[in-house]
């Protein structure tokens, strides 16, 4: 569907990887703009307003982590998929804490990259017209993709919003990490279930005094508190 398409900013300095990403993203119907260093990418985000960013962590100059940190500090929540050659959990967790929406480690399947980008763009444009959801002092407006805590707006990444919306869609129901990965991320690679834990931790930080809206069920997964909690 055309509404799922858009411009993808690829920030990568390895030409062979750039060529592969450009080929598969273009074949999937996305426009592709490439930058090879962080400073130029930062300018391109402001100038081009991409639908998503595929961001290599190890780019020259302003690296991917700092680039993402700068964007989020500016209030720019363009969906970001981190790509890195390092299979280091510390890097992965740090990237997600900085506001990345997803993470791929080289070597990766270009089809998997396209699937992740497609899912992120689709979710960031979801408008279902449903009534707002409320649990305690947390209000989630699906149509405007807005979350308020006691009337104060909270800025979330696209993935953080979708995770919270999914939990709040059925307060009290316990979702396993595998169910959340499948429903929110659209992936079946359950070896990356640590991603769910990191996003939940980040959500709790951003919800501040209302962090208990998300409950941990040990050995199973997570749930949103009951409506009357």
- pLDDT (tens digit, 9 = 90+) per residue, 2-42? 344 789 999 999 999 999 999 999 999 999 999 999 999 99
Distance CA 34, CA 68 (A): 16
Of residues 30 and 84, the one with the higher pLDDT is: 30
pLDDT attached to residue 1: 36
Q: Using an 8 Å Cβ cutoff, are 112 and 102 in contact?
A: no
For residues 170 and 57, what is the distance between their CA atoms, to the nearest angstrom?
Answer: 36
Tens digit of each residue's pLDDT (9 = 90 or more) over 165-202: 989 988 888 998 888 887 787 665 656 677 888 889 98
Has residue 61 got a pLDDT over 90? no
Per CATH, which fold does 133-224 belong to? Arc Repressor Mutant, subunit A (1.10.10)
Residue 120 CA to residue 124 CA, distance in Å, equals 6
Residue 122: phi, psi to the nearest 5?
Answer: -60, -45
CA distance 113 to 163: 20
Distance CA 7, CA 23 (A): 14
Domain boundaries, the chain: 2-124, 133-224
pTM of this structure: 0.66
**Distance between start and end Cα atoms, the chain:** 40
Percent of the chain with pLDDT over 70: 86
Sheet containing 52-56: give its strands across.
Answer: 31-35, 7-11, 52-56, 80-84, 102-105
Q: What is the token pair recorded at 217?
A: 């069920």
CATH of domain 2-124: 3.40.50.2300
Listed residue (181, 193, 12) closest to 108, CA to CA: 12
| pLDDT exceeds cutoff 80 at 130 | no
Please state whether 126 falls in left (phi above 0), alpha (psi between -120 and 50) or beta.
beta
């Amino acid at each position: 569907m055309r509404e799922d398409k858009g411009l993808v900013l690829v920030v990568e300095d390895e030409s062979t990887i750039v060529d592969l990403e450009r080929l598969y993203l273009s074949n999937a119907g996305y426009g592709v703009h490439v930058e090879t260093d962080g400073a130029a990418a930062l300018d391109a985000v402001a100038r081009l307003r991409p639908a998503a960013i595929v961001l290599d962590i190890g780019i020259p100059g302003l690296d991917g982590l700092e680039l993402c940190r700068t964007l989020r500090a500016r209030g720019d929540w363009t969906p970001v998929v981190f790509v890195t050659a390092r299979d280091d959990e510390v890097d992965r967790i740090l990237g997600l804490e900085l506001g990345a929406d997803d993470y791929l480690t080289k070597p990766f399947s270009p089809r998997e990259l396209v699937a992740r980008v497609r899912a992120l763009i689709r979710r960031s444009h979801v408008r279902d017209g449903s009534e707002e959801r409320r649990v305690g002092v947390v209000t989630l407006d699906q149509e405007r993709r807005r979350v308020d805590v006691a009337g104060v707006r909270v800025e979330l990444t696209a993935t953080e919003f979708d995770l919270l919306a999914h939990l709040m869609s059925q307060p009290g129901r316990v979702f396993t990490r595998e169910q959340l990965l499948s429903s929110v991320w659209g992936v079946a690679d359950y070896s990356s279930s640590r991603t769910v834990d990191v996003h939940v931790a980040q959500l709790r930080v951003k919800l501040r005094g209302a962090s208990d809206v998300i409950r941990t069920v040990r050995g199973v997964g997570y749930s949103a508190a009951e409506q009357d909690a």
